[in-house]
């Protein structure tokens, strides 16, 4: 199977979600013959993604952002409100992008618009071949990995980028194990229209079942991620529109006025998972194939885009040096580049979530104290804001706006 310009691929990306599309565009923009094989997801994705500044810069550099920017809303203020009703409650913490000299922490966009823009950009690249198909088997070899597709076709390349999501077939073929734990929580997602302006502010109410987060969309619209006990999520999901709107208005203390829910609801069981290695046997893992974290603090896809940019940077450099794109040197460098970023964020989000769920008073008070210190100590608050938006450690070059 060849690319549009007739070349055999230097790399194949498996999975046409946002991480896979970004990895494929990164390679193809730099001139590498690239193939992407992706099957359509079973359900439409009604979620939104808060993309931080580095992710937006990378998408600008790849020529994607201009195709979807009109659908995105800036995130200028982020509030955390303790709504646990517990004895030891944390103070409200407000992060303002102004404090760290940014116009906005990032932008919130519906996944359907982000994916449409990525697909449009990918479709315009002559050396990127996109195939709507399912990978049925993955066979690593000494020189290349061979994929067998549902349609019966075969494809091989020295590097496979696995962006095939949390149940990654490619990861299994590479023999990479995962540290995984299910939470007894599910996230209900829905988009809303409302009568009061959101003022570019995202508000995260911390409740005993998990966060209830309102994130701005353009105009008088917002998205909601409501983390609940799974049984409760199922009940709330099945409410009619008027009942659901009333529940949301109550839980949000009417900060956005009268609510109307839009069509399309999703329920996502939550878990945390990290692959023990991010690459082996010529297969590099990106996005949720490499790590899954709960939707708190909007970190998941921001990490996934840094993975895509990171493996892209290393593979492009190897290609230009006449090296082996999927060889041990590239995969070891990728592991080194990504481990700390993924590890620290997974740990922080996991801890924050667990301290929210605990009934153990000393832990609740410690959490309250932590948030109190963040609220009161300016340099600490600014450090938390900077780290939340971008890792202190070196970021992939695309996140700094450098073309590869």
Ligand X SMILES: Cc1cc2nc3c(=O)[nH]c(=O)nc-3n(C[C@H](O)[C@H](O)[C@H](O)COP(=O)(O)OP(=O)(O)OC[C@H]3O[C@@H](n4cnc5c(N)ncnc54)[C@H](O)[C@@H]3O)c2cc1C
Query: Among residues 134, 128, 139, 138, which one has the least CA distance to residue 151?
Result: 134
CA 202 – CA 191 distance, rounded (Å):
14
Q: Would you say 97 or 364 has its CB closer to ligand X?
A: 97
- Distance of closest approach, residue 159 Cβ to ligand X, in angstroms: 17
Q: Which residue's entry shows tokens 């509030």?
A: 79
**Restricting to residues 293-312, which ones interact with ligand X according to CB under 6 A?**
295, 298-302, 304
Contact 80, 92 (CB under 8 A): yes
Nearer to ligand X, 75 or 404 (CB): 75
Per-position x/- string for 122-161, each x denoting binding to ligand X as judged by CB under 6 A, each - no binding:
------------xx--------------------------
Which of 102, 157, 187, 316 is the binder for ligand X (CB under 6 A)? 187
Do 95 and 381 touch, CB atoms closer than 8 A? Answer: yes
- Which two three-digit tokens encode residue 76? 């200028």
| CA distances, 327 to each of 24, 35, 284, 314, 336 (Å) | 18, 18, 10, 11, 15
Phi, psi of 368 (to 5 degrees): -60, -45
Tell which one of 9, 16, 216, 310 touches ligand X (CB under 6 A): 16
Q: Which residue stretch of 14-22, 74-82, 178-186, 377-385 sits at the interface with ligand X (rule: CB under 6 A)?
A: 14-22
Give the nearest distance from C-beta 220 to ligand X in angstroms: 20
Indicate which single residue of 287, 326, 388, 391 sits in contact with ligand X (rule: CB under 6 A): 287
Q: How far is the CB of 322 from ligand X (least distance, A)?
A: 30
By CB under 6 A, residue 37 contacts ligand X: yes
Q: Which of 18, 54, 216, 310 binds ligand X (CB under 6 A)?
A: 18
Q: Which stretch binds ligand X (CB under 6 A): 171-179, 230-238, 292-300, 350-358?
A: 292-300
Q: Is residue 41 a contact point for ligand X (CB under 6 A)?
A: yes
Report residue 130 as tokens: 């996109």
Task: Quote the least distance from Cβ 134 to ligand X, whole Å.
Answer: 4
Stretch of residues binding ligand X (CB under 6 A), selected from 94-102, 162-170, 337-345, 372-380: 162-170
Contact 243, 265 (CB under 8 A): no
State which residue, 47 or 194, has the beta carbon closest to ligand X. 47
CA distance 214 to 342: 25
* CA pair distance 383, 391, nearest whole angstrom: 10
Count of CB atoms situated within 10 Å of the CB of 237: 17
Choose the stretch contacting ligand X; rule: CB under 6 A; options: 11-19, 66-74, 257-265, 343-351. Answer: 11-19
Choose which of 11, 19, 29, 385 interacts with ligand X (CB under 6 A). Answer: 19
Query: Which residues have CB under 8 Å from 50's CB, separation 6+?
Result: 75, 105, 106, 107, 108, 202, 215, 298
CB of 39 vs ligand X, minimal distance in Å = 4
277 sits near ligand X (criterion: CB under 6 A): no
**Out of 9, 20, 326, 391, which residue is the one contacting ligand X (CB under 6 A)?**
20
∠ CA 126-131-136, nearest 5°, is 145
Query: Residue 251 CB, nearest distance to ligand X (Å)?
Result: 16
Buried b (16+ CB within 10 A) or exposed e, 286-322: bbbbbbbbbbbbbbbbbbbbbbbbbbbbbbbbbbeee
In this complex, which beta carbon is closest to ligand X, that of residue 61 or of residue 213? 213
The CA angle 302-307-309, to the nearest 5 degrees, is 95
- Taking Cα atoms as reference points, which of 330, 326, 2, 328 lies closest to residue 158? 326
Q: What is the smallest separation between the CB atom of 269 and ligand X, expressed in angstroms? A: 9
Size of the site for ligand X (CB under 6 A): 33
Among 27, 97, 169, 192, binds ligand X (CB under 6 A): 169
Part of the chain binding ligand X (CB under 6 A), chosen from 163-171, 249-257, 271-279, 334-342: 163-171
Which span (176-184, 287-295, 310-318, 378-386) binds ligand X, by CB under 6 A? 287-295
Q: Provide CB contacts within 8 A for 221, sequence distance 6+.
A: 191, 192, 193, 194, 262
From 28, 30, 35, 50, residue interacting with ligand X (rule: CB under 6 A): 50
Beta bridge partners of 285: 162
Tell me which residues touch ligand X (CB under 6 A). 14-20, 37-39, 41, 47, 49-50, 134-135, 163-165, 169, 187, 189, 225, 268, 287-288, 295, 298-302, 304
């Amino acid at each position: 199977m060849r690319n549009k310009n007739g070349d055999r691929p230097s790399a194949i990306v498996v999975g046409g979600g946002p991480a896979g599309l970004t990895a494929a565009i990164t390679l193809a923009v730099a001139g590498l013959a690239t193939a992407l094989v992706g099957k359509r997801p079973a359900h439409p994705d009604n979620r939104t993604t808060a993309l931080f500044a580095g992710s937006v810069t990378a998408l600008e550099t790849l020529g994607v952002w201009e195709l979807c920017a009109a659908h995105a809303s800036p995130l200028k203020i982020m509030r955390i409100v303790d709504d646990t009703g517990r004895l030891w409650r944390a103070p409200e913490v407000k992060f303002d992008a102004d404090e760290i000299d940014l116009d906005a922490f990032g932008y919130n966009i519906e996944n359907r618009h982000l994916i449409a823009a990525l697909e449009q950009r990918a479709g315009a690249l002559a050396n990127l071949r996109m195939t709507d198909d399912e990978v049925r088997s993955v066979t690593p070899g000494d020189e290349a990995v061979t994929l067998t597709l549902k349609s019966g076709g075969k494809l091989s390349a020295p590097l496979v980028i696995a962006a095939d999501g949390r149940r990654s077939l490619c990861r299994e073929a590479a023999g990479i194990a995962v540290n995984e734990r299910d939470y007894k929580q599910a996230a209900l997602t829905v988009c809303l229209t409302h009568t009061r302006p959101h003022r570019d502010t995202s508000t995260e109410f911390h409740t005993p079942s998990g966060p209830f987060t309102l994130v701005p969309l353009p105009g008088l619209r917002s998205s909601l991620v409501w983390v609940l006990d799974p049984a409760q999520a199922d009940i709330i999901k099945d409410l009619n529109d008027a009942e659901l709107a009333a529940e949301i208005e109550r839980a949000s203390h009417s900060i956005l006025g009268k609510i109307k829910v839009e069509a399309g609801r999703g329920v996502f069981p939550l878990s945390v998972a990290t692959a023990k290695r991010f690459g082996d046997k010529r297969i590099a893992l990106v996005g949720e194939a490499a790590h899954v974290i709960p939707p708190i603090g909007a970190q998941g896809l921001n990490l996934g885009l840094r993975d895509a940019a990171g493996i892209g940077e290393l593979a492009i450099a190897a290609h230009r040096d006449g090296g082996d794109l999927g060889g041990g040197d590239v995969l070891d460098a990728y592991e080194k580049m990504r481990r700390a970023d993924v590890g620290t964020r997974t740990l922080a989000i996991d801890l924050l979530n667990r301290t929210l769920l605990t009934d153990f008073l000393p832990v609740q008070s410690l959490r309250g104290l932590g948030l109190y210190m963040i609220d009161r100590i300016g340099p600490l608050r600014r450090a938390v804001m900077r780290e939340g938006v971008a890792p202190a450690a070196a970021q992939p070059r695309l996140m700094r706006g450098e073309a590869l």
